[in-house]
Amino acid sequence: MRPPSLLFVCLGNICRSPLAEAAFRDAAARAGLEAVADSAGTGGWHAGHAPDPRSRAVALRHGIDISGLRARAVRDADFTGFDYILALDPQNLRDLRAMAPARSSARIALLMDHVPGRAGQAVHDPYYGGDADFDAVWDQVRAAADALVAMLQR
């Protein structure tokens, strides 16, 4: 049996989704859960770029180096290659559902729907904010990562 695979998706794949990927990888490792994680954007204009410096800084403050990650756009193969595709906000969820090919086998959902009491909520885009906004994103994606690991261990 292959390990579960999760793709975290935001708009440009330089702020929120790399942090969600990092938080999930860390939570899975701490729990001893074998899983595959990646991140992507619904838009491809940052393809090949490292995460935003503020995302790298907040991850590093939590002991995680994401400087080696590179942005990419969602591709058709993701819809059959991943078990879960998790959007970080409702607009990206709508975009993913519209992009999904008919043969899609991935479960497409909103990331925060997995956190008790947070269903329907977005992980707000910190791009135009400051350090406090990136810290808030970290708190949200860490809570989601822990909830996902718990779900996958059941």
Average pLDDT over residues 56-69: 98
> Known catalytic residue: 125?
yes
Q: Which of 52, 78, 89, 125 is catalytic?
A: 125
d(CA 148, CA 145): 5
Q: What is the pLDDT of residue 29?
A: 98
Among positive and negative, which fits the CA dihedral 68, 83, 100, 19? Answer: negative
Give yes or no for residue 137 having a pLDDT over 90. yes
* pLDDT, tens digit, 9 for 90 and up, residues 80-113: 999 999 999 999 999 999 999 999 999 999 999 9
Q: What is the pLDDT of residue 28?
A: 98
124: CB partners within 8 A, 6+ apart: 89, 133, 136, 137
Average pLDDT, rounded, for the chain: 97
Query: 69, 49 in Cβ contact below 8 A?
Result: no
pLDDT > 70: what percent of the chain?
100
Q: Which of 16, 25, 54, 142 is catalytic?
A: 16
Give yes or no for residue 1 having a pLDDT over 90. no
